[in-house]
Structure 1
């Protein structure tokens, strides 16, 4: 079996590529700009190209055809329209990575299925994903284009720590605040529910959809089974670090209002996503992928991630702007308490 991945080196796709090449013996091609080392993977060929340069891509693909083409870096309708032009006659299945953030906000029910309405007025990213889905499903219904939609929620790997509130440089500054005993901002009261999925677990569900005729014309959410509150998530991180959590709870609406002028899109990432309690009903996926389950719970996954981050300096990207912003916001709220 032969697969092409557009992207192929990100949090989700890297685990899928590794599983295909090392465990399932697929012939894998990765099309990207070559900015990240793929490591020593067997049966993996890298095609270095800008996917937006269609003429160059066509020249480099030659007459190749694929059992599966997977799009991991498509965020707008323009991207999937381009993919349709490039691959409509080159693949038996096209898998588009959408997002669970596309589900209706605010949610009408905490239990999310693939039939939950898609609508997110708070996040342009999510609305663009919805538009991509609509374009692709129209091509399936009217032209038989063999599309499968996959909606991940919060998937993480060893290179980053999943958090609710962080700056533009990722999660390390929050980890640093924890280690220094400084207060760490948690959105809301920390009791909303969230699902975290380690990328190796995600890869089990995804690879079982590849080449599976029961997946054509269908959408699937892929998440683990473990549901935690944000307080539990942050507490688990602190315990793995061996420190006491100094939690500071702030409403998502307030964070959105005071973060906007500094370029922190907390309306999208919080009100449009992480501030909402979600529990995923994955029975549709498990009917055709019975092996899909949580093999790496967060208590284990976070230790894997922390061990990696703390031993790789390139992952320790500090964010003084975000650090200073956290201090100012907390001081402002503490002063407001005194003035009432």
Structure 2
């Protein structure tokens, strides 16, 4: 086995903590760079470097005497971020692996399941997150082959995992469990039948670790997702099945939810309202053995165990918002019934 010296920019997020664990399991030497706000216990020795990547000049200076076999960047969200990483490591690393997002794909898709080579990049600045990720990729694609540094791009889909705060339509997390147990309704966007493949962080980490030092992945872009077919309703139905209580689900159009709270719900209109099924043939061909194997049931049990042991705090503001939205839903229902003749 070849032992590589890997720098991870980030290292404590939902996905990156799993990458660190799997790198250590594979026997690699791991260095983590972040702001040092929290240090997680890992089952192996990790070198920590504290700093702020947003200060590009100081960041580059801090790395001026370091070299790495591979750099994995989990904290670049736009072209400027990526440019800083490339400028810093162009002659100091053997490979750069960049975390993008399936949000960078333009909607509507041209393929279903989605294939990387058939799709275009997002071009609507109205949804800033997707647009900036796409701009980052355009920059990386422009410089591919011009730099000494080979670049691999990996695009996660919506990914759940321990430490995450993104589960549920309102990103309610533990609130979902609490509301089901209390018999309170949960809000689902649209009619809840949009197809989706739910992915969990330990599976996604396999893609990043499999790309480390893998020359097949140089100057290529991949998505890496589970391939099981579900619909969005299944997220709450499966939680209810695990808890043993059938959830009450109400359905509200994405456009109305976005009007109620654009910051919380805009992604439903621009991204989640489209099918989330992906063809992973490309990454499987270049990273032999890659496959997402954690089922929705297994993944939600993992999340429930974490909620019960550590993260069992109700978000009162989101709970109130969900109460208000469901009250509006039932009021609309009563008004619509009044139209019956």
TM-score using structure 1 length:
0.91
Unaligned regions of 5+ residues in structure 1, if any?
Answer: none
Question: Is the 1:161–1:302 Cα contact (8 Å) retained in structure 2?
Answer: no
Q: Is the 8 A contact 1:159 1:305 kept in 2?
A: no
CA offset digits 1:246-279 (Å, max 9, x no partner): 011111111112223xx42x12x20122221121
- 1:338 matches 2:334: yes
* CA distance in 1 between partners of 2:144 and 2:205 (Å): 25
Where in structure 2 are the equivalents of 1:285-304 lying within 5 Å?
Answer: 285-304=283-302
Alignment correspondent of 1:272:
270
Cα offsets for 1:146-200 (capped at 9, x unmatched) = 1111100011113347644115xx4222332122110000111111111112211
**CA 1:138–1:120 in 2, change beyond 3 Å: closer, same or farther?**
closer
Q: Does 1:237 align with 2:239?
A: yes
| CA distance in structure 2 between the partners assigned to 1:55 and 1:129 by the alignment | 22
Task: Give matches, 1:220-235, under 5 Å.
Answer: 220-235=222-237
In structure 2, the CA distance between the partners of 1:241 and 1:159, relative to structure 1 (3 Å rule), is: farther
Counterparts of 1:112 and 1:336 in 2: how far apart (Å)? 36
Query: Hey, what's the Cα distance between the residues in 2 that align with 1:203 and 1:217?
Result: 19
Contact 1:240–1:303 (CA<8 Å) still a contact in 2?
Answer: yes
Q: 1:143 to 1:55 in 2, by over 3 A?
A: closer
- Divergent runs of 4+, >4 A: none
Q: 1:26 to 1:230 in 2, by over 3 A?
A: same
Alignment-derived partner of residue 74 in structure 1 = 76
The 5-angstrom pairing of residues 1-340 of structure 1 reads 1-21=4-24, 23-115=25-117, 116-119=119-122, 121=124, 123-160=127-164, 163-167=167-171, 170-260=172-262, 263-264=263-264, 266-267=265-266, 269-312=267-310, 315-339=311-335, 340=339
> For 1:304 and 1:161, how far apart are their aligned partners in 2?
14
Q: Provide closer, same or farther for how the CA distance between residues 258 and 162 of structure 1 changes in structure 2, counting only shifts above 3 A.
A: closer
Structure 1: distance between partners of 2:182 and 2:151: 48
Equivalent pair of 1:93/1:147 in contact (CA under 8 Å): yes
**How many residues were matched structurally?**
331
* Mapped partners of 1:317, 1:110: distance in 2: 38
Q: 1:112, CA displacement in angstroms? A: 0.7
Higher mean displacement: 3-12 or 288-297: 288-297
Cα pair distance change 1:235/1:160, threshold 3 Å: farther
SS in 2 for 1:325: helix
Q: TM-score, normalised by structure 2?
A: 0.91
Alpha-carbon distance in 1 for matches of 2:288, 2:30: 24
**Matches of 1:326 and 1:71 in 2, distance apart?**
35
- Aligned equivalents of 1:200 and 1:334: distance in 2? 39
Helix, strand or coil at the partner of 1:141: coil
Q: Secondary structure of 2:237's match?
A: helix
Task: Kindly state the Cα deviation for residue 54 of structure 1 after the two structures are TM-superposed.
Answer: 4.0
SS in 2 for 1:243: coil
